[in-house]
Amino acid sequence: MQVVTTIAEAVRLRQQLPRPLGFVPTMGYLHEGHLTLVRRARQECATVAVSIFVNPTQFGPQEDLAAYPRDLPRDLGMVEPEGVAWVFNPSVEVMYPQGANTWVEVGALSQPLEGAHRPGHFRGVTTVVAKLFNIVRPDRTYFGEKDAQQLRVIRKMAYDLNMGIDIVPVPTVRERDGLAMSSRNVYLNPEERKAALCLYRSLQLAQRLYRAGERDAEAIRRQVRELIQAEPLAHIEYVSVADDETLEELAAIGGPALVSLAVRFGRTRLIDNVTLR
Ligand code: AMP
C-alpha cells in the first residue's frame, strides 16, 4: 500500500494502476463504517484508493476542527489489510494553496437540515470532494447513507457537473446496540454514550409508526421528538421528515421519506437517519 501526500504522486498512481478505480473519501479516525465502504469498493473495483483529509472548509468557526480525532498510523493499519492500493493524505496547504478561491456549491438540496444548521458546511464538502475527484479521477466512489444529505448533495453535484463518476451509497453501519458508528462517538462520555441510544430508538419508532400506517409527517416528527426529549442529556437541533429525494419537509407521506435528526449530547453533535418506504 502506498501512502502519498502530493498531487503529482496521486496523478502517477491513478494513471498506473488498473481500472476501474474505486475511491473512498474520509476524514480519517476510521471505524467499521469506513471499512464497509472500502470492502464494497474492493468487491467492485480493480484498484481502491482512500483519502484521509480533515477538510477545514467544511467546519464552522465554532465547530470541532481542532479537536477532530486524528490517528494516521492507526488508520493505515486498518486499511492495509483490506487491500487498499493507495492512500492520499494531503496537507491543508496541498489542498488549499495560498490564493485558492474557487468554490463548488449545490443549490436547494444543500440549504435545509445540515445546511441550515451548519452554514457553509456543504460548500466546503462539495468543494473538497470535487477537488479530490479531479485529483483521483475515480470511476466509482462510495459514500455512507449515515450522511444522508451529503450523499444526495454529492450525487447532485456529480450529475450537474457531468463528472461521469458513479456515486455508490452504502447502508449505515451501527454498533451492536444501534448507535450509528461515527468518528465523533469518541467524544461521548459513558452517560452520553448511553443517552445517545435514543437516536436509533426514535428512528425505530418512526419506522414502526410508518409500518402501522401513519402517513402524517408531523405526527411522526412529534413522537420522535418526544422520545428524544425524554432523555435529559439530549438536545435536539432538528427532527425532519422530508421527501427522500428533494429533502423538502412533508405534511403527508406519499413516496419515500427521509427521517433525519441532529442531536447534541454535551459538546458532541450526532446525526442519524432512516428512510421510510
Ligand atoms: P467521514 O470520515 O466521517 O467524513 O466519513 C467518510 C465516509 O464514511 C462518508 O461517506 C460517510 O458517510 C461514511 N460513513 C461514516 N460513518 C458511517 C457509518 N456508520 N456507516 C456507513 N458509512 C459511514
Q: Which residue carries 406519499 as its cell?
A: 254
The predicted pLDDT at position 100 comes to 97
Ligand 1 proximity of 55 Cβ (cutoff 6 Å):
no
Q: What is the pLDDT along the chain (277 residues), one digit of tens a residue?
A: 999 999 999 999 999 999 999 999 999 999 999 999 999 999 999 999 999 999 999 999 999 999 999 999 999 999 999 999 999 999 999 999 999 999 999 999 999 999 999 999 999 999 999 999 999 999 999 999 999 999 999 999 999 999 999 999 999 999 999 999 999 999 999 999 999 999 999 999 999 999 999 999 999 999 999 999 999 999 999 999 999 999 999 999 999 999 999 999 999 999 999 999 9
Q: What is the rounded radius of gyration, in angstroms, for the C-alpha atoms of the chain?
A: 19
Atom of ligand 1 nearest to the CA of 172: 20
DSSP state of 215: -
Calpha distance 150→155 (Å, rounded) = 8
Calpha distance 274→277 (Å, rounded) = 10
Q: Name the 3-class secondary structure at 98.
A: coil
Q: pLDDT for 152-174, tens place per residue?
A: 999 999 999 999 999 999 999 99
The predicted pLDDT at position 41 comes to 99
Calpha distance 162→160 (Å, rounded) = 6
Ligand 1 proximity of 172 Cβ (cutoff 6 Å):
yes
**Percent of the chain with pLDDT strictly greater than 90:** 100
Atom of ligand 1 nearest to the CA of 28: 2
CA dist 155 → 90, 105, 111 (Å): 24, 13, 15
The predicted pLDDT at position 165 comes to 98
Q: Which residues are CB-contacts of 242 (< 8 A; sequence separation ≥ 6)?
A: 112, 113, 248, 249, 250, 257, 258, 260
Q: Which domains does the chain possess?
A: 2-170 (3.40.50.620), 183-276 (3.30.1300.10)
Q: 3-state DSSP: the chain helix, strand, coil percent, rounded to 5?
A: 40, 20, 35
The predicted pLDDT at position 114 comes to 98
The predicted pLDDT at position 135 comes to 98
Other CB atoms within 10 A of residue 112 CB: 18
Q: Name the 3-class secondary structure at 3.
A: strand
Is residue 70 within 8 A of residue 32, CB to CB? The reply is: no
Is residue 175 within 8 A of residue 163, CB to CB? The reply is: no
Q: pLDDT for 72-81, tens place per residue?
A: 999 999 999 9
Ligand 1 proximity of 198 Cβ (cutoff 6 Å):
no
pTM for the model stands at 0.98
